[in-house]
Amino acid sequence: MIRAYAVGQVRAAEASAMEDLFDGELMQRAALGLAEVAIARLSERAGGVAVLVGSGDNGGDVLYAAAHLARADHPVEVVLVGSHAHDGGVAAASGAGVSVLEWRGGEASPEVRAALAEADVVLDGITGIGGRPGLPEHLVALPELIGEDAYVIAVDLPSGADPAGRTWSETVYADETVTFSLTKPVHLLPPTEPATGLLTVVDIGVAEPSSPAVERLTHEDVARLWPVPGPDDDKYSRGVLGVVAGGELYTGAALMSVTAAVTAGVGMVRYVGPRHPTDLLRAAVPEAVFGVGRVQAWSIGSGLDVEQADEEQLAAARDALESDLPVLLDAGGLDLIDESRSAPTLLTPHAGELLRLARRLELADADDDQVRRTPVDVAQAVADRLDVTVLLKGAVTVVVPPTSAGLPIRSQSDGPSWLATAGAGDVLAGLAGALLASGLSPLDAGSLAALVHGVAADDANPGGPVRAMDVAHQLGRTVARLLSR
């Protein structure tokens, strides 16, 4: 498990570590760790370094690192871009022979342009956890001034990114981010993770706080969470999933959800739907049974058009929502909820579906794409309003429990971009539903399903395109591989 801590927790943990250290010791450790990473990356490159320095302690880190690099015989140019700069850091860098340029406003000088265009490695120390989202006006053009082949190392976080990971903004895009002791939400959450690149955590001796704000499951967590049957189990004790998905129009959604649940090893699937998808399923998934009956959880809505759905199928969905059983709502099923339920509930919208739902609940402006700018905030607002867990799908999938649960957000980024293909969400709904039926909480079921779904997509055709049905067929083998680690 990777755990990330909110800015306030990080500051408190750093303050507590500093009580036992001499002044500036943490910054010296950070600078040395950063310099070591930069030197390792420089061993594969020609060697010129440009260092961007902001007003705060992040700028201090990078100035001391610049001094280390200069003493290791790397040509280093520092560019001060903030209203002021860390005095001790500037003195250390100058003392080590580093040339110091300034770009505090307006256009970059020819010297600054040359330093940025010619550098093989760029250290980005403009903002750290004290940064406001966005780059100041004079730095908006900065990313274009950095050479295309340069390796950009962000210090603590890519400058301009919201440290809380909540709001999208213009940022530096890093190939690698070197952070100190603690991972922060900016490194894991959807609007900011893409700017982080490879994440390297350098230990500077700051102890982990007790309750993380954000978590990420790793492959090692699968064996701990996956419901592995024992000798006393039977198909009912393992969990029966009811699937209300597909219709005369979207027959494939039913096939993909049910196939995924069966391949993921659920005890049994009961499918409820009209004639055409039922006939297809009878032929394609002989393990499934049909019609309403006793289940442990429901997966409702993939390929379901509530306006045109079969009446019996819709009645089964509404009964399920009124029951005290765990329910997953996907796609069209999201139209069926407007108040909280007493039982565990997991919603699995993609960005468009989340926006539609948030607007229906009057939690998002009609004419604004709040999901693109603040995806986690919108998911959180829906989770809180309906007292449900919201899994927002995307390249980074985030699973947001209601605030009242007091649980961390989970964020997964396991799938290749090839997974952005029709039907992949239907597979996820069957897989996550199977995990709910086995008794996992919405948070565990959603995050574990997102991990396995992403890994299976890669396993199904490493490095290449993948169709959703192949992901569904791959799930069993991927689970076996992850369990054997």
Is residue 396 marked as binding? yes
Least CB distance to ligand NPW at residue 38 (A): 14
Is residue 273 marked as binding? no
Is residue 184 marked as binding? no
Q: Judged by CB under 6 A, does residue 160 bind ligand NPW? A: yes
Least CB distance to ligand ADP at residue 41 (A): 26
Using DSSP, state whether 469 is helix, strand or coil.
Answer: helix
Least CB distance to ligand ADP at residue 280 (A): 17
Is residue 253 marked as binding? yes
| Residue 56 interface partner, choices ligand ADP, ligand NPW, none, CB cut-off 5-8 Å depending on type | ligand NPW
Q: Which residues partner with 289 through β-bridges?
A: 270
Measured from the CB atom, the residue of 180 and 250 that comes closer to ligand NPW is 180
Measured from the CB atom, the residue of 26 and 217 that comes closer to ligand NPW is 26
Measured from the CB atom, the residue of 40 and 422 that comes closer to ligand ADP is 422
Is residue 426 marked as binding? yes
Q: Judged by CB under 6 A, does residue 388 bind ligand NPW? A: no
The span from the CA of 442 to the CA of 382, in Å, is: 15
Q: Judged by CB under 6 A, does residue 474 bind ligand NPW? A: no
Residue whose pair of structure tokens reads 């039922």 in the numeric block = 278
Q: Judged by CB under 6 A, does residue 82 bind ligand NPW? A: yes
| Residue 55 interface partner, choices ligand NPW, ligand ADP, none, CB cut-off 5-8 Å depending on type | ligand NPW
What residues line the site for ligand ADP (CB under 6 A)?
331, 350, 393-395, 397, 415, 417, 419-420, 422-426, 428, 453
- Cβ-in-10-Å burial (0-12, 13-18, 19+) of 83 comes to exposed
Least CB distance to ligand NPW at residue 202 (A): 10
Q: What is the DSSP letter of 6?
A: -
Q: Which of 5, 180, 250, 271 binds ligand NPW (CB under 6 A)?
A: 180
The span from the CA of 192 to the CA of 165, in Å, is: 6
Phi-psi region of 301 (alpha: psi -120 to 50; beta: other; left: phi over 0): left
Q: Which residues partner with 268 through β-bridges?
A: 240
Q: Judged by CB under 6 A, does residue 158 bind ligand NPW? A: no
> The tokens of 148 are what?
């295309």
Q: Judged by CB under 6 A, does residue 135 bind ligand NPW? A: yes
Is residue 394 marked as binding? yes
Measured from the CB atom, the residue of 187 and 350 that comes closer to ligand ADP is 350
Residue ranges in 46-109 assigned as alpha helix (H): 57-71, 87-95
Chain residue at closest Cβ approach to ligand ADP? 425
Q: Please state the φ and ψ torsions of residue 243, each to the nearest 5 degrees.
A: -115, 120
The span from the CA of 238 to the CA of 224, in Å, is: 16
- Cβ-in-10-Å burial (0-12, 13-18, 19+) of 281 comes to buried
Measured from the CB atom, the residue of 129 and 328 that comes closer to ligand NPW is 129
Measured from the CB atom, the residue of 140 and 420 that comes closer to ligand ADP is 420
Is residue 117 marked as binding? no
Is residue 393 marked as binding? yes
Q: Which residues partner with 78 through β-bridges?
A: 51, 100
Residue type (1 letter), 394: G
The span from the CA of 255 to the CA of 454, in Å, is: 19
Q: Judged by CB under 6 A, does residue 165 bind ligand NPW? A: no
Is residue 172 marked as binding? no
The span from the CA of 266 to the CA of 342, in Å, is: 24
Q: With contact defined as beta carbons under 8 Å apart, do 196 and 218 qualify? A: no
Least CB distance to ligand ADP at residue 395 (A): 4
Q: Judged by CB under 6 A, does residue 205 bind ligand NPW? A: no
The span from the CA of 210 to the CA of 471, in Å, is: 37
Q: Which residues partner with 305 through β-bridges?
A: none
| Residue 165 interface partner, choices ligand ADP, ligand NPW, none, CB cut-off 5-8 Å depending on type | none
Which residue, 4, 125, 150, 114, is CA-closest to 60? 125
Residues contributing to the annotated binding site:
253, 303, 350, 393-397, 425-426
Interface residue list for ligand NPW (CB under 6 A):
14, 18, 26-27, 30, 54-59, 61, 82-83, 126-132, 134-136, 155-156, 160, 180
Q: Which residues sit in the known binding site for AMP?
A: 393-397, 425
